[in-house]
Structure 1
Amino acid sequence: MTIAVIHSRHTAGTESELSLSAATTLDGTTLATRVFTRAGTGDEHRRATALDAFEYVHEHAAGTANPTPVYVSDAGLRTELLAVAGSFTAINLVGAPRGRMPALLLAAANAMSEHVADLAAAAAAAAGPLPELVVATDASKCTRRRGVGVACVRADGVRRQKMVPDVGSVLVGELLAIELAVSSFRDRPLHVLTDSRAALACLGSGHPNRGEVARTVDRIHHLNLGGRVRFSWVRGHDGHPLNEAAHRLAVAARRGHEAQIAHEIRAAVADNIVAPLRAAA
């Protein structure tokens, strides 16, 4: 059976003022993601990209034998589509992600981050070399369930945050936060700050990493070919502005996911967290 998700975000406060939506489909064992963009970061722009993605998924579903279960992460648009669900007989809209849908949402989020990073890298290549960028990272995991919120933020308040389901280790979460930073800001030399000594140890040469830790470290090292990234430890919960912001963003990503808070509210919370950084920049 084919299943699909549509995930949306915007890039307000970054170099690329875009709204994005990604449609990720899983047809048996084949996973495919397509990203849709519109210039502008208003709700109407993000909704337009989500409708573009919905049209794409509907066209894909029309060729299947059974209705395709689809989850739309934008709560407002999801409610509107559910009200007219009878008009889309090829699609079965669901109110909450189930089964393998959380993994599809992660794939959609990663695709959008990569798209934005590629745009930034292209712009940087055209502009020439840029100075080193300082980025703090952190992860937040609930002790009672799997899954971790990860985040990174730089001094001017530009941020990335997401929820990664089915992660049972805080250490993996810290490494995933570092990977998020390294993959999100590929256009600049980076100085990544983390409060996890264990994560830094795993990134060191000769450390006996295993399982998901080893796979995540390998991805980080691959992204750092050429040595454009250096890593440093910063004491956590000690008043360091970037570390504190990264921690709060990671917690907000996890709690927002657990409580199924609407995307618009999550974005507003994140904006409030980084507001002091933006004001000081």
Structure 2
Amino acid sequence: MDKKHLLTIGNISKQTGVHIKSLRYYDKIGILPPAHVDRETGYRYYDFSQIQLVEAIQLCVELDIPLNRFTEFLTEDKKSIRYGKLIAYGSMLADEKIRAINTKLHILDEMQKHIRHAENYRFHNGPIKLAIPEKYCWALPYRGRQRSTEYHLKFNRALEDISRRGLKTGSEAGILMMCRSGVTERFLYIEVDMEQFREPLPEEIIHLPELSCVCMKTDHSDIEQAAFLFPDLFSREYDRIVMETELFPDHYYFSHPHYEIRCSVPDGGA
């Protein structure tokens, strides 16, 4: 065969900037077969038109389009590239990445808020007032403390159930105590994002209204200590919500974390 008008693998590597190993890999997975392979030497040769094919493959690489899908963007005779279809698919993947990045940025922003809130205790010895926005929580009956084997087992099972229902977790978790009409209930809770949820609410979901709370820092997990931290509030008759959540300051001592106990105040303030 006349190889005068063909490119060696080295030539096509120089013209496209694609490493020879990559070109061999593209041949191996069947998306860039050489125009000719010398039977005696095993050298690969390509024609000039395949430069465009290499560029289309590189576009897939840049867009993170799996190369095993590359042939979907070729016509049946493999002589034409369906660039419209390729670009549309790449745009879809890019949009998914943007959404994923925005989700991560939101998580980081929420973590920064938690850090700033925890740092408030460096400057306040007494109770801190806190407005807590409305939220939904996945709540399971639980009477123990955080940082226990039982808590973590139940917590992980709850995460699995939340994921199974197609829900996303929020940025907060801990222990919840609800005192209503003389009845006290305690739960392990995980905040969930209900923004995209359209089905009837699972029975595990508890809706918490917007709350005005008084908060105190404590060095151990025990939601029952709320009665000693807030004696004035506990001496009054009203439907009370108490929450215990772990604090995450700038310097987080994982071997000895601190917690925040929150107690809702009755309408009209403490």
TM, length-normalised to structure 1: 0.24
Larger radius of gyration: 2
Give the number of the structure whose residues are more often helix, by fraction. 1
